[in-house]
Structure 1
Amino acid sequence: MSSPNTMVKPQIVFDLTEVLLASTGKLRYYGIARVAAEAGIALRKLDASIRFAVFSQGHRGLLEVFPEIREDGSVELNVPAGIRQIRMRSHHYSRSKLRDLILSAIRPLIDRKNRLFWDEIAPGMPQIEMAGKTFVTCSRPKVITEILCAMAKQGVSCDVIPMLHDMIPLHDFHHQRASFPKNFVGDNRFVIERAKGLLSVSEFTRQEIIDFSQSDVLPAVPEIIAVPLVHQCPIGTEPAEQAPPDTPYILTVGSMLGRKNLDVVFEALRVLQRTGSPLPKLVLAGAPRGRTRTYVASAECDSIRDLVLFYENPNQTDLVTLYENATAVIMPSRMEGWGLPAGEALWCGTPAICSTAPVLEEVCGDLGLYFDPDAADELAEYIRRLLTDSAFSTKLRMRISEHKSKLRTWDNVAEDIVAAVSRLSR
């Protein structure tokens, strides 16, 4: 007979919905989808009792998927690919009788169409019974909200432990959709109020959540445990598609104008040009960004346009090659929840030049080089030194290499998630 104090191990169901959504191609290089996929792979290898699910808009429920460990030790998540779902909000944060009337009329039609989309590609997937289980998810709050609304409608009760990535929209950064910050606040409030406990991707994000709760932007929060993300950059298994430049280059991954502050990198190139310093190529890797292409084509970039190279949606093999051969990876953001490219640069032995955003110092510690995000001359000076001072560059790369064993891996993340869930489930 077990002791009354014996802890019952929670039955974890890990959410892979962001992997499903990324498979349509719109979010191929999207940080949250990457986190869901890599954490899912590591969790499958760590604990065979963990189950996995994706949310179907058509079924209005979670369907179980069954990741497999291959003979070579790699993991196939077996998430169906290419299912395009028409998404409609189930929960709104403003009143509109007309909107609600229209949505109630068309929702059954949309659900039916979504079900048909699903059944064309992945028919017969079993729904997973969630009662009494622990649902762990690192999806975006708006996705989690949809899942929780569906559970509530079905009368399902289970512990929910979400991983929150950042609170960036709660700051004064411009967003092209005026409704986004309001919905972001609403979705986070909705999720937090229903959570057994919270995970965050960094100590910085953990403190942000607490601060916004104390200022009444967010509700009272349950216990929050930081599970810092990784430095590890997994080796790609796909064939190479895009060769790196054969001349020195600096690299940004997923950067864009605005809050991601790609602007300062362009200005740093102009500073180097004005001072007669060596000029590297600038590789912009990630999803296509129309605004960035428009800016590069503008007269403002006439003098540096030939330096800019777009590598759209590189596969993992090409991304690792870009990291390994870069003079430096630039992380110019004004704010991040973690900062995967900076960590991945260090994993690949490449210097990371980061803005002084607090979380980037959490990622890189004393291995990073830091500049004021408004000071293009500081960034330019680091680039110049790495290009011209071989002793400086070699010493920095050696220090990064010596610390590789201390960098975080996806296995570390999986272990920390399981430990945190056990603690929060008490």
Structure 2
Amino acid sequence: MTRLRVAIDARKLRDFGIGTYVRGLLGAAAARGEHDLVALVRTGDEALLPAGVSAVPCDAAGYSLAELVSVRSALSKAGCDVFHAPHYVVPLLPPRATVVTIHDLIHLKRPEHRTLAKKLYATTMLRRAMRAARVVLTVSESVRDDLATFAPRHAGKVRAIPNGVEGRFLAPVPGAEVARVRREAGLDAPYVLFLGNDKPHKNLDGLFAAFAAVARSGLTHRLVLAGGSPERREARRHAAVEAGVADRLVDLGFLLEADVVPLLAGASALAMPSFLEGFGLPVLEAQAVGTPVVSSDRGGLPEAGGDAALYADPDDPGALADALVRLLTDADLAARLSARGRERARSFTWEAAFEKVSAAWMDAAEGA
């Protein structure tokens, strides 16, 4: 195997979503040691990189014209055989051997709450990325199909490689840690967890409407939101009041990394009601810790959950409520989904993802 020098845009290293992807991929690649890795990082993030990964500073603001120049400059300093952009922003004059990962087309498929400028930016950058890349990676077959429709001329470049689950979700979760996060969150009742941001495509209004029906069924569960922005906390509370579930809501906002796994493990169920997801990694993370899942049936979510989740139409809060009530009242069903989910999650590793990504790097270097 040819040893490559691969530069990866890791400016989102601290983020969820793309940041999780970058951390997982860098960790697996560094552990294998087959390539020389260089990460473009924001100043101060160098210490977050795995051992053996070199760093080149790159501090330009995201989604700006300045970053197109800044990333190009950083790549010149890094020197590389292959450049991997983990989202659709590629620099001016990108290297010939460029690999791009496109996680979803939510900006284009769910544009209702986005300005015209943001829609145009997303469309322009996606088209640039599709043209510039020798290989385009997606995290699901669903997104690959979307790209085939969006840019049919470049469909032959696209490969679907599912995300992996971090090892911390696969390890046993101490009961004391679950008890700690419950105590700190004031959770003295069973709960359903929503894990993610509060962007419109996440369908929190639909979840609130569904949970109102869950409450009317006589179940005493709380609804825990984790990951929403502090700036929108009041908007979330108002929506919960409108739906009649404010008394059931526990809004934790952003979580500490140390709290994510035990909070997931302590939940009676994970609710993932999104109108669209490229993949839906929280579904697999919940399955990894043994928490059963009720998910939307849209986008890449069925690929993440497989046969180890219950599904509902996100446009139908009644169907979502029925699925939640069924799961929360049928202990045998919950146990079956828990066992099936644990087994399924073990097959989604970053090591397996890296094997396929490494092949994409090689192909890009050879001219694809």
Please report the TM-score for the alignment, with normalisation by the length of structure 1: 0.73
Alpha-carbon contact 1:51-1:64 (below 8 Å) kept: no
Correspondence for 1:252 among 166, 191, 194: 194
The answer to whether the 8 Å contact 2:24/2:166 transfers is no
Matching residue of 2:129? 191
Structure 2 residue 31 is matched with structure 1 residue 45: yes
Aligned counterpart in structure 2 of residue 89 of structure 1, from 37, 40, 65: 65
Cα 1:369/1:231, change in 2 over 3 Å:
farther
1:228 corresponding residue in structure 2: 162
C-alpha offsets along residues 239-270 of structure 1, whole Å, 9 cap, x if unaligned?
97971223210111114262111111101121
Q: What SS does the aligned partner of 2:188 have?
A: coil
Whole-Å separation in 2 of the counterparts to 1:345 and 1:352: 7
* Aligned-partner residue type, residue 136 of structure 1: H
1:12 to 6, 11, 18: 6
Mapped partners of 1:220, 1:209: distance in 2 = 8
Q: CA deviation at 1:277?
A: 2.1
Q: Which has the larger radius of gyration?
A: 1
Quick one: structure 1 residues 387 and 79, their matched pair in 2 at CA, closer, same or farther if it must change by over 3 Å? Answer: farther
- What secondary structure sits across from 1:367 in the alignment? coil
Contact in 2 for aligned 1:14/1:135 (Cα 8 Å): yes
Separation (CA, whole Å) in 1 of partners of 2:349 and 2:9: 20
* Match of residue 60 from structure 1: none
SS at match of 2:143: helix
Q: Deviations over 1:85-131 (max 9, x none)?
A: 55641599xxxxxxxxxxxxxx9xxx9xxx9xxxxxxxxxx93123x
Tell me, in whole angstroms, the C-alpha distance in 2 between the residues paired with 1:298 and 1:213. Answer: 38
Report the equivalent of 2:208. Answer: 266
Which residue identity is paired with 1:45?
Answer: A
**Aligned AA for 2:85?**
T
8 Å contact kept, 1:54–1:64: no
3-state SS of paired residue (2:12): helix
Structure 1's 395 and 65: CA in aligned 2 closer, same or farther, altered over 3 A? closer
- Map of 2:260 onto structure 1: 319
Shift of 1:195: 1.2
Deviation at 1:41, TM superposition (A): 1.1
* Correspondence list, 1:340-355, <5 A: 340-355=281-296
Counterpart of 2:82 in structure 1 is 134
> Which blocks of at least 5 consecutive residues in structure 1 are unaligned?
1-6, 23-27, 58-62, 70-74, 93-106, 116-125
Q: For residue 169 of structure 1, what is the aligned residue in structure 2?
A: 107
> CA offsets, 1:21-40, max 9 Å, x none?
x4xxxxx4x20111111211
Structure 1 or 2: larger helix share?
Answer: 2
Q: Hey, what does 2:319 align to over in structure 1?
A: 378
**Which residue in 1 is equivalent to 2:146?**
208
How far residue 174 of structure 1 moved from its aligned partner, in angstroms, is 1.5
Is 2:355 the counterpart of 1:421? no
CA RMSD of aligned residues (A): 3.4
Identify if the C-alpha distance between structure 1 residues 91 and 41 changes in structure 2 by more than 3 Å, giving closer, same or farther: closer
Secondary structure in structure 2 of the residue aligned to 1:35: helix
Structure 2: which amino acid aligns with 1:196? R
- What is the one-letter code of the residue matched to 1:225? R
1:304 Cα offset (Å) = 1.5
Identity across matched positions, percent:
25
Contact 1:201 1:338 in 2 (8 A): yes
- Give the TM-score normalised by the residue count of structure 2: 0.83
Higher mean C-alpha displacement, 329-338 vs 383-392? 383-392
